[in-house]
Structure 1
Amino acid sequence: MASEPPREVSIVIPVYGSEKILAELVRQVDEVMTEKGRHYEIIFVCDQSPDQSWNVITRLAQEYETVRGILLRMNAGQHNALMAGLAQAQGEIIVTMDDDLQHAPRDIPSLVEQVENGFDVAYGRFTSRKHPLWKIVGSRINNLVAGYLMHKPMDLYLSPFRAFKAVIRDEVLRYQGPYVYVDGLILTVTRNIAQVDVAHQERHAGDSRYGLAKSLSLWMKMATNFSIVPLRITSFLGLVFAGVGFLLALVLIIQKFTLDLMPIGWSSLIVTVLIIGGVQLLAVGMVGEYLGRALLTLNARPQYVVAQRVGGDGADPGAVEQEQKSA
């Protein structure tokens, strides 16, 4: 009885500022996947990288039949770029990873095997991390918040190094909004998730461009796209401070009729006004954030716009295609 041919694997990699890394990344992936006898493709999504990454991707697509490239017309962000790659992936199993070789290609087969064994999704769980302390702490806080906002299992570590079935990809792509958070979308369609211990390596070259601002933006996507808890928190704060205000008013009335002495001290009054005003502005800002995202979704703001594609199906490296994923 002939053995079943290996499943085809699509490896989707957003690219930003990694021109010196891509050739080595492809070499390592090709070495691992060839050794395992896997039919695979690599889909690089160049998110308007400021360096020569697109030129490198074009050259690699000419050298390797397994390499495809997508150039976005405008910078869309990591998760939006992932959506562009997922839409083009042809594999039965899709793997996503970063472009900096901190995710070791040798661990890809382990993630794929977990999906083949029946899990819908397999996340890489790093045994140690080569990130700055602030980023490690921020990641842990993000996981705790995700557990509360999206009911994520507390022992599940969300990482960008993941593998999942094509049917999960199809469900993720049904999301039409402009603010994409892939892990949140995955958690809305399945809880059949495995974790695999993987290595976390030093960045192969250059410096990471994923700073604090992008981390905060990702947190806002998670908080406002998949939960109304922030609105409930602001409502609760408003209720608490309203209660405190009524209590203070009651105290002042009692003092007026018993001691006939109004409290002296403008500083305490100013502090109270500032606190209450701050809570009100927080509530208004949070409501505005939700309304703004709803408005952009209704206005069909695109998740990404494709300017050019190379590799696969004989695509012309110089061809420009006007494509977009509409919100």
Structure 2
Amino acid sequence: MANIDISVVIPVYNSEECLEELAKRLTEVLEKTGLTYEIILVNDGSADNSWGKITDLCEIHSTVKGIKLRKNFGQDNAIIAGLNYATGASIIIMDDDLQHDPADIPALLDGLEQGYDVCYARFSIKKQTWFKNFGSWFNDKVANIVLKKPKGVYLSPYKAVKREVIDEIIKYDGPYPYVDGLLFRVTANITQVPVMHHERFAGKGNYNLRKSITVWLKLATNFSVFPLRIATYVGFLASCIGFLLAIFFIIQHFVVEGAPAGWASTIVSVLFLGGIQLISIGIIGEYLGRLFLQHSEAPQFVVENVVEK
């Protein structure tokens, strides 16, 4: 293993317009540290010319390594792929669009120097769409319950992690990795530093509703049985409501003239209970599906090519 001080791992998806400036700023910052470093760009099945840009950067910079995945596996899978190739004593994980300023890397590394295993970047104001902000907020609330995350810690995609922690989390071989969840499984020795969040340098963001739901499902079903417990509680509550309604209709039949409106109450009950049953079955199916894929050895990622100077 090479004697590298810092590895910067960046998942890349449809960001060809950002990569040249990203490599330039990273190089400027990392050169000033006086430490040895490598920049690992993981192309996660981009539809644009991101891989062409990465190969060009590898020819220019001896410190840049390009990894091409055979298809789009997802952000966390791409990060895990990069971590498997990282050799640094400290690892920086960041996005590819320069909303994470490379100039903040020394502050993150200082957090590790103070003895912490993980140092998150905390953004007071995030310059992104309201929908993405809402998704981040909701995911944070779920993490408080599922991961027992301290409420003051923000799960930022921009962070610094010690080598020993990385060595532990890459042991996870399931097909649905969630990096922050794995970090909290390994250590509670975590801090954060305040930094600025910036506008995307170029192009359009790739965040959408499907990705938001995917992140939530990874968090909820990979690290907790909490959703199953919710389904149990809701099922119990629905049973109680059904029992009370049955008593109400019986009393109404004997006390009030005329029988209760049968079709309306029946349809409401069927829709209510049927919806709960379908949600519960879906949650159970999500768990079973993930178990099936893990035991069938579905890959986290498949590397097509690795390029470096």
Question: Do both share a fold (TM > 0.5)?
Answer: yes
Which residue of 225, 229, 246 maps to 1:228?
A: 225
Q: For 1:282-308, what per-residue CA distance to the aligned partner results, in whole angstroms no more than 9, with x for missing partners?
A: 111111111011100000000000000
Distance in 1, Cα, partners of 2:75 & 2:238:
39
Post-superposition CA distance 1:259-291 (Å, at most 9, x none): 574212522321121001100111111111110
For residues 105-147 of structure 1, the C-alpha deviation after alignment (integer angstroms, 9 at most, x for no partner) is 0001110111122000000001321101111122111101110
Q: Which residue is equivalent to 2:160?
A: 163
2:276 alignment partner in structure 1 = 279
CA distance in structure 2 between the partners assigned to 1:237 and 1:7 by the alignment: 52
Give CA-to-partner distance per residue, 1:76-99, whole Å, 9 cap, x none.
000000000000000000000000
**What does residue range 113-128 of structure 1 map to in structure 2 within 5 Å?**
113-128=110-125
In 2: Cα distance, 1:260 partner to 1:206 partner: 69
Task: From the two aligned structures, give the one with the greater helix fraction.
Answer: 2
Report if aligned partners of 2:132, 2:207 keep a CA contact under 8 Å in 1: no
* CA distance, structure 2, for counterparts of residue 7 and residue 26 of structure 1: 18
Q: 2:9 is aligned with what amino acid?
A: V
| Structure 1 residues 176 and 254: alpha-carbon distance in aligned structure 2, compared to 1, 3 A threshold | same
Structure 1 CA distance for aligned equivalents of residues 258 and 17 of structure 2: 75
Q: Is residue 2:39 matched to residue 1:42?
A: yes
* Paired residues of 2:253 and 2:260 also in contact (CA < 8 A): no
- Any residues of structure 2 matched to 1:11-90 within 5 Å, and which? 11-90=8-87
Aligned amino acid, residue 199 of structure 2: E
The answer to whether 1:177 aligns with 2:191 is no
Give the residue type in structure 1 aligned to 2:126.
Answer: R
- Give the match for residue 192 of structure 1: 189
Q: Tell whether 2:96 aligns with 1:99.
A: yes
Partner amino acid for 1:110? A
What does residue 310 of structure 1 align with?
Answer: 307
- Which shows bigger deviation, 72-81 or 262-271? 262-271
CA distance in 1, matches of 2:72, 2:237: 42
**Residue 198 of structure 2 is aligned to residue 201 of structure 1:** yes
SS of residue paired to 1:20: helix
Identify which range, 93-102 or 254-263, moves more after superposition.
254-263
Separation in structure 1 between the aligned mates of residue 33 and residue 172 of structure 2, nearest angstrom? 34
Partner of 2:107: 110
3-state DSSP class of the match of 2:106? Answer: helix
Look up the SS of the partner of 2:302 in the other structure: strand
Give 1:268's match in structure 2, choosing from 245, 262, 265: 265
Q: Which structure is richer in relative contact order (CA contacts within 8 A, separation 6 or more)?
A: 2
RMSD: 1.4
TM-score (norm 2): 0.96
TM (normalized to structure 1)? 0.91
Deviations 1:149-168 (A, max 9, x none): 11110110001100010110
Corresponding residue of 1:288: 285
Aligned to 1:3: none
Tell me the SS of whatever aligns to 2:91. Answer: strand
Distance 1:210 1:293 in 2: 23
CA deviations over 1:195-239 (Å, ceiling 9, x no partner): 011111111110011212111111111011011111111111110
Question: Do residues 218 (structure 1) and 215 (structure 2) align?
Answer: yes
The residue that corresponds to 1:147 in the other structure is 144
1:33-58 CA distance string (max 9 Å, x none): 11121211000000011111111111
Deviation for aligned residue 1:257: 4.8
- Percent sequence identity is 49
Residue segments in structure 1 that go unaligned for 5+ positions in a row: 1-5, 315-327
C-alpha separation in 1, matches of 2:243 and 2:274: 16
